[in-house]
Amino acid sequence: MSSGHAPTSTRQFQNVAVVGHHAAGGRREAAGPLGGNLDQVWEDDLAGEATWEAAEAKMAVHVLGGAAEGGGWQLADVDVVLGGDLLDQLVSTNFAGRQHRRPTLGVFSACATFAEAVGLAGVWCELGSARVLAGAWSHHLAVERQFRFPIEFGYQRSPTASWTATAAGALAITQGAGPVRLRAFTVGRVVDPGSTDPMDMGTAMAPAAWDSLQRHLEAVGETWSAYDRVFTGDLGMVGSAILCDLAHDGHFGRVHDDCGRSLYRPDQDVHNGGSGTGCVAAVVASHVLPHLEDGRWHRVLVAATGALFSPTSYQQGESIPAVAHVIELEAGR
Amino acid sequence: MSSGHAPTSTRQFQNVAVVGHHAAGGRREAAGPLGGNLDQVWEDDLAGEATWEAAEAKMAVHVLGGAAEGGGWQLADVDVVLGGDLLDQLVSTNFAGRQHRRPTLGVFSACATFAEAVGLAGVWCELGSARVLAGAWSHHLAVERQFRFPIEFGYQRSPTASWTATAAGALAITQGAGPVRLRAFTVGRVVDPGSTDPMDMGTAMAPAAWDSLQRHLEAVGETWSAYDRVFTGDLGMVGSAILCDLAHDGHFGRVHDDCGRSLYRPDQDVHNGGSGTGCVAAVVASHVLPHLEDGRWHRVLVAATGALFSPTSYQQGESIPAVAHVIELEAGR
């Protein structure tokens, strides 16, 4: 039975639209280049909650509600919420589900989670009428204390370290037409270049990004010239340079941009750039979609990248594999 | 825009089949009532690896390969792997991906993960030709030390505590006909009855199971009498009793069974029964599917249940919400 099947991990969509989007960030994100585009800014790290984790869940509820509203939907009309975060057992996504009460599917591909959620929303909506919300969120303080050191420790960040964003983004996705079409989704393979430095995610993730982007291009039968932008998220300075070396293609270099580099200014002391599940989500919701809606861009790829490790795997001496999932967005009704 | 849309979180499938399955367990699971049905038994807790976490990843690779083989596929022909586990950042699923190299989507709904993976595989396959593997896995020793106490502590388990199974199950799912059809998938809502005891998951999860089962029944327009069995997983003794009280329906009580009760004999000192992401996966792969394949059962629901908490959320005083996702399986080509 194995002969004759040409494996394809890409789904192309004829009839899926992004009809709403909402992006939120914290103070540092508001001070960055996209600050003016954020729909909501959380000045208070705790957002009025008792813990950072609860603040992250609250941020999730708000961007999901904002995206639904953007689509002209009431939350009660939403069929499925697809989302994820970096916290153990996806507690912010699931505790958000306790509040919004809509059917919830948790997904996890580290910082590639947003593209997994959006891509699966596309699969769901291509199949039939539906109103789906897809998003991702991260809170700097909740994530950092879980993955690395207690924040209070005041450790020194290495030059290749990224800054986990306090950011969230959600999209309202449905079957039908809309200002932006979701055109395709490619599922990534786990690629392990053998990196072992949890302070250098860009190096660990660049090969996975290149693997998935190449596979996507082949599946949809396009060249880089078809796209106004090819965003990765979040390779930052270090990973973006490696990716462009791997691509070895002038045209790719001209269209490539990175969500981790887009969220902050170089003088914001974020070193390699932004990261965290919420980074690419917020950049897509606040930057990519508006450019497609108003016609400045026509066609964009987003290859969200995730470093697949846990504090346990790292302490056990495992290397840090990575994955990248690709979504393709196109302007037009 | 919100008027006129009747929310439905159920997808029904016309053309999706389960063509292969593989179940594995450890020594304790092999000694249980389904031991003879397991395709593979791991006598060694470490499975020849250096850590329990690596052993869990190895178990995942083996059941995925076994399911592919059962479907007559080579692993290279597989388009997408959907899977999940209980470990922080889904490390066993992702490290398995590093080995099998097939495109991987991590999903997480605690012990409801298996139904999420299978249901999304159904959505993927209903949309077009595809070969998808869906599964879940858990390793008692890796999970317990992460969620509760160091194993070496030798703490006393309370009477309502479940036993996290060392178990794994995977299905080969494709578009087309097969000995078993995947007929429908209902996405669960997060339901929080306010439980705070991490040693009593059955009480926390029973209301979510009932919520999703009712919604599924309504969406597909059936009554309990349409089903030979309605499995929950894993409510155990305590949760099953609560569920049957909630149902308050004699027919439901007669068709209801629970994966957590099926995996072990009462004298195996597992108290409430089995649990863990791998429990329902192994019971479906080793028990439910064979019954459908040989015609003993015709139609079965599986409502996998998950308790949505992390050690952090628990220590912060949060209650334990839960979710249940439902898949419907039917005999016949």
DSSP string for A40-69 = EEE-STTTTSSSHHHHHHHHHHHHHHHHHH
A192 vs B contacts (CB less than 8 Å): 98
Residue B90: predicted pLDDT: 97
Q: Which of A7-11, A152-156, A232-236, B253-257 has the lowest mean pLDDT?
A: A152-156
CA nearest B326: which of B227, B238, B194?
Answer: B227
Q: Quick check: is B4 in a domain? A: no
Per cent of chain A over pLDDT 90 is: 87
Question: What's the CA gap between A228 and A215, in Å, rounded?
Answer: 19
Does one domain contain both A266 and A320?
yes
From B141, B175, B209, give the residue that closes a domain. Answer: B175
The yes-or-no verdict on residue A27 having pLDDT over 90 is: yes
Judge whether residue B146 has pLDDT over 90: no
Which tokens sit at B133? 């593997």
Question: Which pLDDT belongs to residue B151?
Answer: 63
pLDDT of B37 over the 70 cut: yes
In this structure, is the dihedral angle defined by the CA atoms of residues A54, A84, B278 and B234, taken in order, positive or negative?
positive
Range of the domain at B148: 12-175
- Beta strand extents in A118-179 (DSSP E only): 131-138, 163-164, 167-175
**Which of B175, B201, B228 is at the close of a domain?**
B175
Domain identity same for B33 and B171 = yes
B46, two tokens: 């470490």
Helices and strands per DSSP (H, E), number in chain A:
12, 14
Residues A36 and A163 in one domain: yes
Q: Which two tokens stand for residue A267?
A: 């003088």
pLDDT value of residue B216: 98
Kindly report the number of other CB atoms within 10 A of residue B212's CB atom.
30
Cis peptide before B234 (omega within 30 of 0): yes
Residue A4 within a domain: no
Average pLDDT over residues B183-210: 95
| Residue B202 confidence (pLDDT) above 50 | yes
Give the C-alpha separation, A78 to B278, whole Å. 30
Q: Mind listing the pLDDT tens digit for each residue in B55-101? A: 999 999 999 999 999 999 999 999 999 999 999 999 999 999 999 99
Q: What is the mean pLDDT of chain B?
A: 94
Alpha carbon of A18 to those of A22, A217, A226, B186, B295: distances in Å? 11, 22, 20, 23, 44
Q: What is the pLDDT of residue B332?
A: 86
Domain containing residue A146: CATH number: 3.40.47.40
Cβ pair A206, A235 in contact under 8 A: yes
* pLDDT of A126 higher than 50: yes
Residues A123 and A263 reside in one and the same domain? no
Q: Which residues of B touch A144 (CB under 8 A)?
A: none
- pLDDT one-digit tens code per residue, B273-283: 999 999 999 99
Domain shared by B214 and B167, yes or no: no
B4 inside 8 A of chain A by CB: no
Given this model, what pLDDT does residue B44 score?
95
CB of A78 within 8 Å of a chain B CB? The answer is yes
Mean pLDDT of A94-105: 97
Is residue B24 assigned to a domain? yes
For range A38-44, the mean pLDDT:
97
Q: Which of residues 44-73 of B touch A (CB under 8 A)?
A: 50-51, 53-54, 71-73
- pLDDT of B152 reads 64
What pLDDT does residue A150 have?
63
Residue, of A30 and B250, whose pLDDT is higher: A30
CB of A37 less than 8 A from some CB of B? no
A241 and A161 both lie in a single domain: no
- Flag whether pLDDT at A125 surpasses 60: yes
Structure-token pair, residue B183: 């007929």
Q: How does pLDDT run across A153-188, given as a tens digit for each residue?
A: 667 788 888 999 999 999 999 999 999 999 999 999
How many structural domains are present in chain A? 2
Least CB–CB distance from A1: residue in B73, B101, B109: B73
User: Is the residue at A143 inside a domain?
Assistant: yes
Q: Does B321 touch chain A (CB under 8 A)?
A: yes
Q: Which of A131, A134, A128, A127 is nearest to A107 (CA)?
A: A134
Give residue B269's pLDDT band: very low, low, confident or very high (50, 70, 90): confident
Length in residues, chain B: 333
Instruction: Count CB neighbours of B56 within 10 A.
Output: 30
Q: What is the pTM of this model?
A: 0.97
Whether residue B7 lies inside any domain: the answer is no
Amino acid at A247: A
Please give the pLDDT value at position A288.
98
Are the Cβ atoms of B103 and A187 closer than 8 angstroms?
A: yes
Residue of B51, B132, B190, B305 to mutate, interface with A, max A Cβ within 10 Å: B190
Is residue A2 in a domain? no
* Domain identity same for B188 and B115: no
**Taking 90 as the threshold, does the pLDDT of residue A4 lie above it?**
no
The 3-class SS string of B39-80 reads CEEECCCCCCCCCHHHHHHHHHHHHHHHHHHHCCCCHHHCCE
DSSP A76: G
In terms of Cα–Cα distance, which of A139, A165, A259, A134 is closest to A209?
A259
Please return the burial class of B25, using the count of CB atoms within 10 Å of its CB with bins 0-12, 13-18 and 19+.
buried
B contacts of A106 (beta carbons < 8 Å): 107-109, 116
Q: How far is A63 from chain B (nearest CA, A)?
A: 18
Query: Is there a contact between A115 and A303 (Cβ–Cβ < 8 Å)?
Result: yes
Q: Quick check: helix, strand or coil at residue A171?
A: strand
Return d(Cα A59, Cα A41) in angstroms, integer: 10
If asked whether residues B188 and B119 sit together in one domain, one would say no
Q: B146 and B289: one domain?
A: no
Residue A161 in domain: yes
pLDDT at residue A2 in the model? 44
Is B71's CB within 8 Å of A105's CB?
Answer: no
User: What does the pLDDT read at residue B154?
Assistant: 67
Q: What is the dihedral of CA B149, B150, B151, B155, to 10 degrees?
A: -50
- Same domain (yes/no): A97, A121: yes
B6 in any annotated domain: no
Taking the CA of residue A111 and the nearest CA in chain B, the distance in Å comes to 11
| Same domain assignment for residues B60 and B189 | no
Confidence grade of residue A134 (pLDDT, cut at 50, 70, 90): very high
The per-residue pLDDT for B7 is 78
- pLDDT for res B159: 84
| Domain finish residue from A141, A175, A209 | A175
**CA gap B206, B246 in Å, rounded:** 8
The 3-state secondary structure of chain B, one letter per residue: CCCCCCCCCEEECCCEEEEEEEEEEEHHHHCCCCHHHCCEEECCCCCCCCCHHHHHHHHHHHHHHHHHHHCCCCHHHCCEEEEECCCHHHHHHHHHHHHHCCCEEEECECECHHHHHHHHHHHHHHHCCCEEEEEEEECHHHHHHHHCCCHHHCCCCCCCCCEECCEEEEEEEEECCCCEEEEEEECCCCECCCCCCCCCHHHHHHHHHHHHHHHHHHHHCCCHHHCCEEEEECCHHHHHHHHHHHHCCHHHHHHEEEHHHHCCCHHHCCCCCEECHHHHHHHHHHHHHHHHHCCCCCEEEEEEEEECCCHHHHHCCCCCCEEEEEEEEEECC
A84 pLDDT exceeds 70?
Answer: yes
Pick the more confident residue, A17 or A2: A17
Mean pLDDT of B187-191: 98
What is the average pLDDT score of chain A?
94
Contact criterion met (CB below 8 Å) for A100 and A82: no
Question: Other C-beta atoms within 10 Å of B176: how many?
Answer: 13
pLDDT at B190 over 50: yes
**pLDDT above 80 for A136:** yes
> In terms of domains, do B219 and B88 share one?
no
Mean of pLDDT values over B292-312: 96
Tokens of B211: 């919520």
* Tens-digit pLDDT profile for residues A214-226: 999 999 999 999 9
